[in-house]
Amino acid sequence: MEKVSPGDGAGRIPAEITKIIPLGEERLPQGDHRANGVVLRRRDVSGRSQELLLFLHGFGATWVSAPGSGTSNRFGGGTEPMTWGVFRLYQSPRRLYLKGVDIRESFLGVRRSKSSLCAAVKWCLELSSRLPTGHESDPLLSLLWGSMKNLSCGVSHLLIDARFAWRWANLWGLAPSLDRCTRCGREIRIGGARLAARSSDGFICGECLRGARDGSEGRALLSPISSEAVLLLRTAATLPRDGFAAWAKAGGAESIRDAGIRAELEDCSLWLYSFL
């Protein structure tokens, strides 16, 4: 299988976003700081104040207090989930406060499409629930940026979601192999009879499926999958970022016109998130 590099789809985060001094520390010294990133989650509290979960370059996920003005939100759209920008912060002796936001991208096109919006919200929720706070994860931040850029360019959310899930798991060293049987290690040949199913550990070849016993390793825990779906998943997950969008709008889009393949790809995405 082709070696997969960090980051994703639409390329690197633009220079105007990355040219910010990264925080790079779990505990910030008291004073002013700046970091680029995205709003993953927002909680409204009393007095129009808000608590924001930011995913920041050089620092990872962190909760920030956004004080209100008493009558309005002083930061406008800068506190909306999925908004990317440069966040100006102040670390007090007790907590981290938001002082201002220079918005760089709000992905209005993604917000206007129901399917794209649902995919982006899903990623924010998954990241919110799984990311450890204060732990730098810049390759994953780049993956999220590239995925949202591809959504905004009209790439199918089904293809991007499968790619996002596998690449995230791969960054964390948890992704299943897409070309070898998890039981015997043999290569799974597309179009051959050896491909049989996917399990909680990875793909299972035909020989291993026939030898599976009843019980915890029985057939009931194995989900059949077609060769076409495996090939589509492999391509979507591992294609280099420079060629992904073009393929997804051509061959990938043609493949998911089939309702059965589309359903299999959706199931595969859910399966991949289970590895995280």
Question: Is the pLDDT higher at 74 or at 3?
Answer: 74
Closest CA to 197 of 260, 268, 256, 273: 268
- Superfamily the domain 15-152 falls into: Nucleic acid-binding proteins (2.40.50.140)
- Average pLDDT of span 180-204: 79
Contact 156, 253 (CB under 8 A): yes
Contact 118, 157 (CB under 8 A): yes
| One-letter amino acid of 14 | P
Q: Which residues pair with 54 in a beta bridge?
A: 39, 62
First to last CA, the chain: 21
Angle, helices 259-273/227-238, rounded to nearest 10 degrees: 60
* Helix count and strand count (H, E) for the chain: 10, 8
Contact 51, 128 (CB under 8 A): no
Q: Compute the distance between CA of residue 118 and CA of residue 137 in angstroms, rounded to an integer.
A: 23
Q: Compute the distance between CA of residue 126 and CA of residue 91 in angstroms, rounded to an integer.
A: 27
For 110-152, how does the pLDDT look when each residue is reduced to its tens digit (9 = 90+)? 999 999 999 999 999 999 999 999 899 999 999 999 999 999 9
Q: What percent of the chain has pLDDT over 70?
A: 82
- 196: pLDDT strictly greater than 80: no
Mean per-residue pLDDT over the chain, rounded = 85
Tokens of 200: 């909680």
pLDDT at 5: 53
Query: Which sign does the torsion angle of CA 203, 205, 208, 212 carry?
Result: positive
For 29-42, how does the pLDDT look when each residue is reduced to its tens digit (9 = 90+)? 777 889 999 999 99
* 231: CB partners within 8 A, 6+ apart: 190
Closest CA to 35 of 81, 102, 135: 102
Contact 182, 199 (CB under 8 A): yes
- 191: pLDDT strictly greater than 60: yes
pLDDT at 208: 81
Q: Which residues pair with 88 in a beta bridge?
A: 34, 100
| Residue 99 three-state SS | strand
Q: Compute the distance between CA of residue 246 and CA of residue 155 in angstroms, rounded to an integer.
A: 9
Contact 64, 88 (CB under 8 A): no
| One-letter amino acid of 135 | H
Contact 98, 10 (CB under 8 A): no
For 50-106, how does the pLDDT look when each residue is reduced to its tens digit (9 = 90+)? 899 999 999 899 999 988 765 566 777 889 999 999 999 998 888 899 999 999 999
- Average pLDDT of span 219-246: 86
Instruction: List, by residue range, all CATH 2.40.50.140 domains of the chain.
Output: 15-152
- 25: pLDDT strictly greater than 60: no
Closest CA to 43 of 78, 76, 80, 71: 80
Tokens of 161: 């979601």
